[in-house]
Chain A
Amino acid sequence: MNAVIADALADPTPRSLWSAAVRKLARDRAGLIGLAVVLAYLVAALGVWLGLWATEWAEITGSKWAPVSAEHWFGTNIIGQDIFQRGIYSTATAFEVGLVVAVLAAALGGVLGALAGFFVGSWIDELILWAMGVLDAMPFYLLVAAVAFALADNPWSMHVAMIATFWTTTSRLVRGEVIKLRGMEFVEAARAIGVPPTVTIFRHILPNTTHILLVQMTLAFVDAIKAEVILSFLGLGVKGGMSWGLMISESTLEFLGGHFNNLIAASCLMFGLVYAFNMFADALQDALDPKQVSA
């Protein structure tokens, strides 16, 4: 305790939530390693997007079920495609799904949660709460399947379904935070000088919930990648591309022959990204927890 006080006295510059969070994050070794691994995956994904590598993921470049070799790092699959290239290509798919779903779900949840919280008790709040309740009461996989059919095999149907269900958690948290914030002086001051409600919400209140949005985005990113794998297996996920889920679903055809390279490659690549992201998300959550900033 004395050390904290001494620390505070020695450093008279006021510390914001953000600079404190960055300092805390910089001291969290597990979190930093997680971030580094995630960035390495991101580089792999960028390379795929730029067409630098994994360009032959759909080509038959070897014989069926070729073993691990210098040419085929993880061997080949049932028709002789290179598993390593397919795994790396799938990294880009994972980032695409994760980022699109995380950003849009957090944006939707943030805006609707802020509206509900600011107008708490009004019909707007009731309506948004009702929508959240309805979406939470629907079984997730049935909803995704239904959206996939309603959108007539549109490649974005999986993203739409995930965004439609993932925003509710963010929205509930933001709503709770905004209910707290709307009673504070700066909101009162904004109202007193005649700032219209929409400006108050988007300029003054929503920026104060960024820490919630950021943490929720990391959680949604992980959830989206995990959901993609299951949905692709069920035939409701990625269409016209390659993903870890499709690789795993393809690998089920190879079990009887005793070939597990496809399953192991997809599983390990996916586990690496999700585990690293979970470590980073934990560190971020600790760093951004306002309750812990002073401690």
Chain B
Amino acid sequence: MDLLRFALRKLLAGLPLILGVTLLSFTLMVYFGPDKTYQLLGKNPTPEQIAEIRHELGYDRPFVTRYVEYLRQLVTLDFGNSDSTGEEVNAVLARTIPVSLALELPGFILGNLLAIGLALTAGYFRGGWPDKLIMGLAVIGMSISFLIVIFAFQIWFCTSYGLDWFPVRGWKAENLAEYLRHIAVPTLATMFVALGYSTRFYRAVIVEELNRDHVRTARAYGTPPARLFYRNILKNCAIPIITRIMFTIPSIVIGGALLIETTFGIPGVGKVAYEAIVSGDQPVLKAVVGLTALLFVVTLLITDILYRAVDPRVSIR
């Protein structure tokens, strides 16, 4: 019951944030965004035709009316039909979001696990050569552009100039083998790029914990490393680690997939959102940005609840 009240209060506190994001995105993308009138009209339109199309797209109504209409759509989760294809926006999202998730999740999970593993290794051998090697590689990884990684991996793994093992573009997920074949290179690229930043972050958190008295005591009592790392270190580092992981979630659902999806020709939500911006497809844009804001607030809420679960000192009141 307490938890429910806490959740509701947090969601209510998230309202100004949602209003802010929707207002900003509405002003930028819808009010100042591309004008679709003339793309939809034939040659030599009459003024009446122009007025009719503008009315259909809602361009002739005042700013406030259009914004309130947007909020109504967001609350009812009914965003109408895409301006470009006429397809229902919810159908577009239902088609593309699972693709993005299937594409991003394996790399996200494996990347974070690997980063934590490397960070633990570096922390354990602090100052020694494994630490220096891992941290040195992390800085190199941080210094290579995501775009370069993508192209290098594409050339290396997917063309006859390299190994030619995987398809360069496209998306098929009918069976497991096809699915794995298509996500292999994008996943490697995502992991490679995230690994440098994540490992450094996790190492900093772990090293701070390693310096604490209780860890020294546990060590002095001869706690085996595996147990020491799990019970005395990882559990105490849970809050910063959870925060980092949780806050990447909204961006991997929408933003992070954009570049991968564009370069690998994968029909996910990031690509759809990007195309909507470029073409001025307002119904799709409104849905994507509005839902991202909602997702962000929900993530904040879940993070707060998780804090409570891992750290009894955090109160939900």
Q: B-contacting residues of A (Cβ < 8 Å)?
A: 130-131, 133-143, 145-147, 149-150, 222, 226, 229-230, 233-235, 245, 248, 251-252, 255, 258, 260, 263, 267, 270-271, 274-275, 278-279, 282
Nearest-CB distance from B127 to chain A (Å)? 14
Please give, as numbers and ranges, the residues of chain B lying within 8 Å of A131 by CB-CB distance.
20
State whether B277 touches A270 (Cβ < 8 A). no
Which of the 9-residue segments B40-48, B51-59, B82-90, B138-146 touches chain A?
B138-146
Given A138-B289, A149-B29, A255-B159, the answer on whether A230 and B145 have CB atoms closer than 8 Å is: yes
Interchain residue pairs with CB less than 8 A apart (15): A136-B296, A139-B255, A142-B29, A142-B292, A149-B29, A150-B29, A150-B32, A150-B33, A230-B147, A233-B259, A258-B161, A271-B143, A271-B145, A278-B142, A278-B143
Chain A CB count within 10 A is highest, among B28, B159, B259, for B28
Q: Are A275 and B140 in contact, CB atoms less than 8 angstroms apart? A: yes
Q: How far is the CA of A142 from the CA of B297 in the complex (A)?
A: 18
Task: Determine the distance from Cα of A267 to Cα of B143 in the docked complex, in whole angstroms.
Answer: 10
Q: Is residue B110 within 8 Å, beta carbon to beta carbon, of the partner chain? A: no
The reply to whether B292 and A137 contact each other, CB–CB distance below 8 Å, is yes
Chain B residues whose C-beta falls within 8 Å of the C-beta of A226 in the assembled complex: 145-146
Q: Does B32 contact A230, Cβ atoms closer than 8 Å? A: no
**Chain B contacts with A in 251-285, Cβ cutoff 8 A:** 251, 254-255, 258-259, 262, 273-274, 277-278, 280
Q: Determine if B155 and A260 form an interchain contact, defined as CB atoms under 8 angstroms apart.
A: yes
17 further interface pairs, Cβ-Cβ under 8 Å (given A137-B20, A145-B278, A149-B33): A130-B16, A134-B17, A134-B24, A136-B296, A138-B24, A138-B289, A139-B250, A146-B29, A149-B32, A229-B145, A230-B259, A263-B151, A267-B145, A271-B144, A271-B145, A274-B142, A275-B139
B249: min CB distance to chain A, Å: 12
- Give CA–CA (A131, B20) in the complex, Å: 8
| Most chain A C-beta atoms within 10 Å of own C-beta, residue among B29, B142, B148, B258 | B148
> Chain A contact residues: over half helix, strand or loop, or mixed?
helix
The digit string for B227-265, where 1 denotes a CB below 8 A from any CB of A, is: 000000000000000000000001100110011001000
CB proximity of B306 to chain A, nearest CB, Å:
19
Q: Indicate the member of B143, B258, B293, B297 with the most A CB atoms within 10 Å.
A: B143
Bound together, the chains give a CA A130 to CA B148 distance in angstroms of 35
A139 pairs with B292, CB closer than 8 A: yes
Closest approach, in angstroms, between the C-beta of B4 and any C-beta of chain A? Answer: 24
Main secondary structure of the interface of B (DSSP, over half): helix
Nearest CB in chain A to that of B292: its residue: A139
| B143 to A: closest C-beta gap in Å | 4
Measured between C-beta atoms, what is the minimum distance from B244 to chain A in Å?
14
Cα A134 to Cα B140 in complex, Å, equals 32
A-B contact number at CB 8 A: 129
B258 near A141 (CB under 8 angstroms)?
Answer: yes
Question: In the complex the two chains form, is A130's CB within 8 Å of B29's CB?
Answer: no
A138 with B142: CB separation less than 8 A: no
Contact B147 A229 (CB under 8 A): yes
Residues of B within 8 A of A (CB): 16-17, 20-21, 24-25, 27-29, 32-34, 139-140, 142-148, 151-152, 155, 159, 161, 250-251, 254-255, 258-259, 262, 273-274, 277-278, 280, 288-289, 292-293, 296-297
Interchain CB contact under 8 A, A248 and B151: yes
B293 and A137: CB pair below 8 A? Answer: yes
Kindly provide the distance from the CB of A165 to the nearest chain B CB, expressed in whole angstroms: 11
Q: Please name all residues of chain B whose beta carbon is closer than 8 Å to the beta carbon of A251 when the two chains form the complex.
A: 151
User: Are B25's CB and A138's CB within 8 A?
Assistant: yes
- Contacts A234-B262, A279-B139, A282-B139; A248 near B147 (Cβ below 8 A): yes
Contact of A267 among B27, B148, B258 (CB under 8 A): B148
A residues within 8 A CB of B251?
Answer: 139-140
Q: Is the CB of A270 within 8 A of B145?
A: yes
- Report B211 CB to chain A, min CB distance, Å: 11
CA–CA, A255 to B263, complex, Å? Answer: 13
- B289 in contact with A142 (CB, 8 Å): yes
B24 A270 Cβ-Cβ under 8 A? no
Q: Does B28 contact A147, Cβ atoms closer than 8 Å?
A: yes
**Smallest CB-CB separation from A260: which chain B residue?**
B155
Judge whether A141 and B296 touch: CB under 8 Å. Answer: no
Interchain CB contact under 8 A, A146 and B274: no
Q: In the complex, what's the smallest C-beta–C-beta distance from A204 to chain B, in angstroms?
A: 31
Tell me which of B25, B255, B280 contacts A141 (CB under 8 A): B255
A142 in complex: contacting residue of B147, B152, B161, B273, CB < 8 Å: B273
The smallest C-beta distance from A153 to any residue of chain B, in angstroms, reads: 11
Known: A134-B21, A140-B251, A145-B278. A274 touches B146 (CB 8 A): no
Q: Considering the chains assembled together, what is the distance between the CA atoms of A234 and B260 in angstroms?
A: 12
Q: Determine if B34 and A149 form an interchain contact, defined as CB atoms under 8 angstroms apart.
A: yes
How far apart are the CA atoms of A214 and B262 in the complex, in Å? 35
Q: Are A145 and B143 in contact (CB under 8 A)?
A: no
Sorted from nearest, which 10 A-B pairs have the closest CB atoms?
A139-B255, A150-B32, A134-B20, A275-B143, A146-B28, A137-B296, A274-B143, A145-B277, A146-B29, A267-B148
B143 CB contacts on chain A under 8 angstroms: 222, 271, 274-275, 278
In the bound complex, what is the Cα–Cα distance between A130 and B17 (angstroms)?
Answer: 7
A233 to chain B: which residues have CB within 8 Å?
147, 259
CA distance A140 to B274 in the complex (A): 11
